[in-house]
Structures are given as C-alpha cells and as structure tokens.
Amino acid sequence: MNPKVLIVMGSDSDCPVMEETAKILEQFAIPYEMRIASAHRTPQKTAALVEGAADRGIQVIIAAAGLAAHLPGVVAAGTILPVIGVPMGGGPLNGVDALYAIVQMPGGIPVATTAIGKAGAKNAALLAAQILALGDAELSGKLLAYRQQMATEVEAKDRKLQERR
C-alpha cells in the first residue's frame, strides 16, 4: 500500500523520538514513509522529497527538527499538503528554540506544531490520523475507539486508586 504520511527528520538522532510517531501510525494501519533530509545539509534532496510527495500518495507530512528547526517550514514552503512540525528536545534550550522556530511561521505558510519530544511525536501521528479520517469512516471509527480506550484506562486507574484508600 502506498504511504499516506511522510515522516521526515533532519537527523538520525531524531529517530528514537519519531519512532513514537511510527508506532501510532502502525496502530491505526496508516502506511507511512520515514526519511532523513536536512533543510541545511541536503536542501535539494529535501525539496525533491517534498515536491514529489503528493504524486506518491502522501496526504500529510510530519517534519521533526531541533535547534533552529527550519525543516518543517522549508517543507511547508514546498507543498500545499498539511505539515505538522515536531520540535525535538535537546540543545542549550532543551527544545524551546525548536518550538519557537516551528510555531512562529509567517502568515501564509502554516505548520501545525506539537509539543516538544515524544508527546509531540505521538500527537503528530494522531493529528495526521484525524486529518486522514475526514475522508475515511473506518479510520474515524478507530480514532473514536482509541479515545474510548484511553477513557476506560483512566477510569480503571481511578478505581484502583480509590480501592487503595
């Protein structure tokens, strides 16, 4: 099956965090492509990857980057596909610099921005699934079941806590 989501990251050091994105997409049976391309070190590769994304069946792009975090913005500048930016932690500002770089896109070139690190990587996958579910009733049902499962787990944890008191 052709991938519907492109996960692109600036460095292989981002892989452990972005594996969280892949796990969620796999849970929902959403095919994806995962690539390493740098806005600064491989700009031509990045542009080609983005320019050909829609032709490969990609419907949503998730771009992860740290420090200056230009990758999500560069990706968004090259496509009209929805782009979700995931700021990576680390560096002297623990990812806050990446968060600011991704969230402060100029008007006209939007990038949806998630939290820093693993929580953001998971939420990027869930947001991509929600976007894809707009035209996919089966996926929409899976998302509703996922939410219900989370609620059930919280209730079970609360019951367990109350039993200990």
Q: What is the pLDDT of residue 68?
A: 85
Instruction: Please answer whether residues 36 and 13 qualify as being in contact, where contact means their C-beta atoms are separated by less than 8 angstroms.
Output: no
pLDDT tens series, the chain, 165 aa: 799 999 999 999 999 999 999 999 999 999 999 999 999 999 999 999 999 999 999 999 999 999 889 999 999 999 999 999 999 998 899 999 999 999 999 999 999 999 999 999 999 999 999 999 999 999 999 999 999 999 999 999 999 999 998
* Residue recorded with tokens 């990576």: 88
Q: What is the pLDDT of residue 1?
A: 78
Give ∠ CA 132-18-59 in degrees, rounded to 5: 25
Distance CA 50, CA 127 (A): 19
Collapsing DSSP to helix, strand or coil, 121 comes out as: helix
Q: How many CA atoms lie within 13 A of 13 on its CB side?
A: 11
Is there a binding annotation on residue 41?
A: yes
Is there a binding annotation on residue 11?
A: yes
Contacts of 103 (CB under 8 A, 6+ apart): 85, 111, 113
Closest CA to 8 of 55, 23, 47: 47
Q: What is the pLDDT of residue 165?
A: 82
Is there a binding annotation on residue 13?
A: no
User: The whole model's pTM is what?
Assistant: 0.95
